């Protein structure tokens, strides 16, 4: 082999190693499908938000970000202040022909918690936290209410030795390895089906007499359990 060919071969090998090293050194993307398919790195021109409170450690689109369509299967709420869309733990409001990411509206009831949430305990009472929003279970409505941020002094992610009873709260466990996104979708679809079968929707005000409300809520719960069990969940 001539000296010229040997030098060219070494140069080519060195270039290949340099390119390979550069590929390995590329930074990894965060987020993935952690909240409705959102990808870390910007959202409608707005920087994303990393929520590290209570070691939640998830990325969410920052408030003010604009999208052309709400991702996933959104739950729609009509409030005195306007219409809201809830999907994957993120809240949206109409913004012209598009949608803008907004803070969770306090007082709204949702049928299911965000796909990812952190349970915190304050004064022996559980709050469910995600994306700068707090939710509490309301057995009277069979749903989770968005509440104002509590005084979290002394908050803990460790449950007390004897947690307080949660009424008729529904506990759901995946038995077929369903992803958090699939669980959220299945719960929402079962909620819609149970509501259509019983005429009871825990996300809407109910002015039924106490006895009738209790009976109708129990029917809704049974329908939810049946639907979820049919989709491969243990529900109780």
> What integer pLDDT is reported at residue 91 of this predicted model?
96
- Domain spans of the chain? 172-235
- The whole-number mean pLDDT for each consecutive block of 10 residues of the chain, a chain of 236 residues, reads 45 37 31 36 60 92 93 88 91 96 93 89 86 89 89 83 53 81 78 85 72 83 88 84
Contact 206, 213 (CB under 8 A): yes
> What integer pLDDT is reported at residue 60 of this predicted model?
93
Contact 42, 60 (CB under 8 A): no
Quick one: tokens of 42?
């910007």
> What integer pLDDT is reported at residue 160 of this predicted model?
67
Contact 31, 48 (CB under 8 A): yes
């Amino acid at each position: 082999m001539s000296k010229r060919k040997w030098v060219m071969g070494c140069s080519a090998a060195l270039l290949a190693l340099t390119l390979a090293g550069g590929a390995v050194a590329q930074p990894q993307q965060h987020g993935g499908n952690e909240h409705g398919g959102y990808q870390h790195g910007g959202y409608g021109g707005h920087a994303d938000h990393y929520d590290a409170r209570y070691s939640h450690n998830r990325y969410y689109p920052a408030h003010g970000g604009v999208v052309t369509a709400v991702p996933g299967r959104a739950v729609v709420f009509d409030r005195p202040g306007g219409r809201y869309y809830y999907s994957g733990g993120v809240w949206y409001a109409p913004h012209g022909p598009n949608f803008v990411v907004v803070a969770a509206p306090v007082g709204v009831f949702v049928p299911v918690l965000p796909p990812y949430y952190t349970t915190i305990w304050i004064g022996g009472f559980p709050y469910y936290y995600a994306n700068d929003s707090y939710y509490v279970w309301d057995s009277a409505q069979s749903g989770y209410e968005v509440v104002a941020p509590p005084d979290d002094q002394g908050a803990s992610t460790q449950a007390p030795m004897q947690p307080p009873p949660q009424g008729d709260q529904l506990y759901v466990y995946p038995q077929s390895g369903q992803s958090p996104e699939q669980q959220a979708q299945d719960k929402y679809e079962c909620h819609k089906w149970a509501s259509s079968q019983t005429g009871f929707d825990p996300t809407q005000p109910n002015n039924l007499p106490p006895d009738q409300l209790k009976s109708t809520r129990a029917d809704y719960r049974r329908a939810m359990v049946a639907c979820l069990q049919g989709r491969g969940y243990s529900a109780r």
